[in-house]
Structure 1
Amino acid sequence: MSTSSPHILVTEPIPQAVVSYLQNTGEVTVAQKGAYQSEEQLLQDLPKYDALLCMLSTPVTEKVLNKAKNLKIVANFAVGYDNIDVKAANKLGIKVANTPNVLTEACGDYAMGLLLALSRKFKEAEQYLRDGKFTGWEPLGFLGMELRGRTLGIIGMGRIGQAFAQRARAFGMNIIYHNRSPIDPKKEKALDAEYFNDHKELARRSDVLSLNCPLTEETHHLVDRELLKIMPQHALLINISRGAVIDEAVLAEALHDEIIGGAALDVFEEEPKVHPKLLSAPNTLLLPHIASATHKTREAIGMLAAEAITSVLQGKPDDEIPNLISR
């Protein structure tokens, strides 16, 4: 590798507009899909690079960071950054950036889409038709949950949680939520939302429970056997946050035993692996982590990460680096 300009590693194929932007700053290597989902490969290759644009699937551990002697910044192609040891990065003087704000509308739309598909049994009905079983309209065919008048409980009332609540309100749903603290009273009033300090009581009162919280020590396996038993038997569970917020084995068991009414999941604890009992669970919609999958949003995510990388490599001060994370 030439040392005349910075070297930037992108761990998965991303929109070409983002790659072109980065090429104005340095030499860019875009890896093949799945090339950097192991610590071993990063340990081998990362010491050659000055900047890393990575995915949630990229394990940027303390061991990896210690080996990356030339690394100046890690920019995550995501809002979350639980795949990065931020504390170790800060100790080593390596900047860390994420990509908030640009996913909000796409994820709000997507959460509403999941709810509609799950509550009205779209997947099962389409498969019924494709299998050649549709012989005409049936008065008892694929009866689902009508959303008007139902209660949506949201755990994690950040930007995406509020975007989902806004859409659900348009469908006539009642909004309750649990958060570390209540949101701004004006926003709460606009959504006609009620705050619950106890997430278990929220689950007890929810016809639909949506997980929109970050993955932390407190939220790991937040949805466990006890919480699932508290939920109404007809209740639906939606997760577009992080897979490990749910104990997947327990959820699969609850779905098979009809403890709750159904689940729509976009994320999984050991992606890309999915718990085998979830694959066979009834009333379950499983999708491959596509909540932000619009052309506009994915390019915007990439550009935010690229702007952070460019700012660092150009030696700009911290207050001019977009979306810098510190702990």
Structure 2
Amino acid sequence: MTKKKPLVVVTRKLPEAIETRMMELFDARLNIDDAAMSKQELIEAVKVADVLVPTVTDKIDAAVLAHAGPNLRLIANFGTGVDHVDLQTARSRGITVTNTPDVLTEDTADMTMALILSVSRRLAEGERLIRKGEWAGWGPTLMLGHRIWGKRLGIVGMGRIGRALARRAKGFGLSVHYHNRRRVHPDIEEELDATYWESLDQMLAHVDVVSVNCPHTPATYHLLSARRLKLMQPHAILVNTARGEIVDEPALTRMLADGEIAGAGLDVFEHEPAVNPKLLELQNAVLLPHMGSATIEGRVDMGEKVLINIKTFVDGHTPPDRVIEGLL
């Protein structure tokens, strides 16, 4: 007798190769038009699914999980961050949660470095000048930015992405400083020539570029509060490719407008996809639509990890990327 395939509900459109393999391996329900599911649609999905494959746009909170059917035993997240999933409620209901670590590291580090360069050298402003037809030719004082060679980079969160960024930063002549929950191994510090700051407050006051690379957890919500942002030097810039909730966005916006901080490069926002209208008016802010990991290779690699996690779980084994609450 043929074993029944598990019902896998996928909340967003995934790369074609991944969707094809999903259909081959499982009883998969795909999201063909790629519209984000409403809360009610998510509730209907968890009622019937054996496996749910959500993304960062899907809030799988206690209210949704309260409707989970008896067959839902795995949430195989398509993405690294799981702050949109109520891990405590999932655990209490016997639901395993997995994610897709490692595969987005290099892509996100590339984007972070690109934002550092873009803000420092005013690349987005220059591009807009050209498109508006307002460029009258080269001038010795036109579009002056700042060189990054010889500056200090402060990394908030020295995990995989933070370390990948540090390696790139060294190549651009930046000296690497970092704050982390735990100091990294001395071998890593030596490799990266990185200076550890136990006090985030002190690091913010001494660096020229601040990059946010830590996960969003209850402990890191508004980690860069208005008080901490005010510790940054007026010529400093802030780059965030992690999660918008880590930075007090209204405070950052006010400080950018008042020139208390020189610039910001943001790939994530506190209430995305909504963006503070005042941010949109600022020339010293480079804004991107959460595309830090948006490479074809990265998305396919993410999908393959999801497939492996589901197949391993269905076969009765512990999936390789099981998320353990408290160890994010």
TM, length-normalised to structure 1: 0.95
Q: Hey, what does 1:33 align to over in structure 2?
A: 34
* In 1, Cα distance between equivalents of 2:218 and 2:240: 17
* In 2, Cα distance between equivalents of 1:253 and 1:108: 27
Q: Hey, what does 1:98 align to over in structure 2?
A: 99
Q: Hey, what does 1:172 align to over in structure 2?
A: 173
Q: Is the 8 A contact 2:9 2:45 kept in 1?
A: no
- Count of residues in Structure 1 that have an aligned counterpart in Structure 2: 321
* In 1, Cα distance between equivalents of 2:204 and 2:52: 40
Paired AA for residue 190 in structure 1 = E
Paired AA for residue 197 in structure 1 = E
1:207 aligns with 2:208: yes
Q: After superposition, where does 1:228-267 map in structure 2 within 5 Å?
A: 228-267=229-268
Q: Hey, what does 1:154 align to over in structure 2?
A: 155
Describe the superposition over 1:35-91 as per-residue Cα deviations: whole angstroms up to 9, x where unpaired: 32x322211233121111110111111232231212121011111101111111112
Q: Is the 8 A contact 2:45 2:52 kept in 1?
A: no
2:168 match: secondary structure? helix
* In 1, Cα distance between equivalents of 2:324 and 2:188: 27
Q: Hey, what does 2:44 align to over in structure 1?
A: 44
Q: Hey, what does 2:322 align to over in structure 1?
A: 324
Describe the superposition over 1:93-142 as per-residue Cα deviations: whole angstroms up to 9, x where unpaired: 11100010111111111111111111111111011111112222111011
Paired AA for residue 196 in structure 2 = Y
Tell me, which stretches of 5 or more residues in structure 1 are unaligned? none
Alpha-carbon shift at residue 160 of structure 1 (Å): 0.3
Pairwise CA RMSD: 1.3
Paired AA for residue 244 in structure 2 = G
Alpha-carbon shift at residue 282 of structure 1 (Å): 2.9
Q: Is the 8 A contact 2:125 2:283 kept in 1?
A: no
Q: Is the 8 A contact 2:73 2:94 kept in 1?
A: yes
Q: Is the 8 A contact 1:120 1:143 kept in 2?
A: yes
Q: Hey, what does 2:62 align to over in structure 1?
A: 62
Q: Is the 8 A contact 1:72 1:313 kept in 2?
A: no
Alpha-carbon shift at residue 9 of structure 1 (Å): 0.9
Q: After superposition, where does 1:97-116 map in structure 2 within 5 Å?
A: 97-116=98-117
* In 2, Cα distance between equivalents of 1:111 and 1:163: 10
Identity, in percent, stands at 39
When structure 1 is superposed on structure 2, of 55-64 and 146-155 the one drifting more is 55-64
Paired AA for residue 322 in structure 1 = P
1:67 match: secondary structure? coil
2:218 match: secondary structure? coil
* In 2, Cα distance between equivalents of 1:218 and 1:87: 15
* In 2, Cα distance between equivalents of 1:226 and 1:311: 46
Paired AA for residue 299 in structure 2 = R
* In 2, Cα distance between equivalents of 1:52 and 1:45: 8
Q: Is the 8 A contact 1:39 1:61 kept in 2?
A: no
Alpha-carbon shift at residue 4 of structure 1 (Å): 4.3
Q: Hey, what does 1:8 align to over in structure 2?
A: 8
Q: Is the 8 A contact 2:155 2:179 kept in 1?
A: yes
* In 1, Cα distance between equivalents of 2:264 and 2:313: 42
Q: After superposition, where does 1:15-26 map in structure 2 within 5 Å?
A: 15-26=15-26
Paired AA for residue 163 in structure 1 = A
Alpha-carbon shift at residue 278 of structure 1 (Å): 1.1
Q: Is the 8 A contact 2:112 2:241 kept in 1?
A: yes
Q: Is the 8 A contact 1:153 1:175 kept in 2?
A: yes
1:322 match: secondary structure? coil
Q: Is the 8 A contact 1:255 1:282 kept in 2?
A: no
Q: Is the 8 A contact 1:153 1:206 kept in 2?
A: yes
* In 1, Cα distance between equivalents of 2:145 and 2:8: 50
Q: Is the 8 A contact 1:74 1:94 kept in 2?
A: yes
Paired AA for residue 161 in structure 1 = G
Displacement over 3 Å in runs of 4+: none
Q: Hey, what does 2:285 align to over in structure 1?
A: 284
* In 2, Cα distance between equivalents of 1:185 and 1:4: 51
* In 1, Cα distance between equivalents of 2:312 and 2:62: 24
Q: Is the 8 A contact 2:156 2:180 kept in 1?
A: yes
2:182 match: secondary structure? coil
When structure 1 is superposed on structure 2, of 55-64 and 208-217 the one drifting more is 55-64
Paired AA for residue 17 in structure 1 = A
When structure 1 is superposed on structure 2, of 277-286 and 239-248 the one drifting more is 277-286
Q: Hey, what does 1:225 align to over in structure 2?
A: 226
Paired AA for residue 324 in structure 1 = R
Q: Hey, what does 1:273 align to over in structure 2?
A: 274
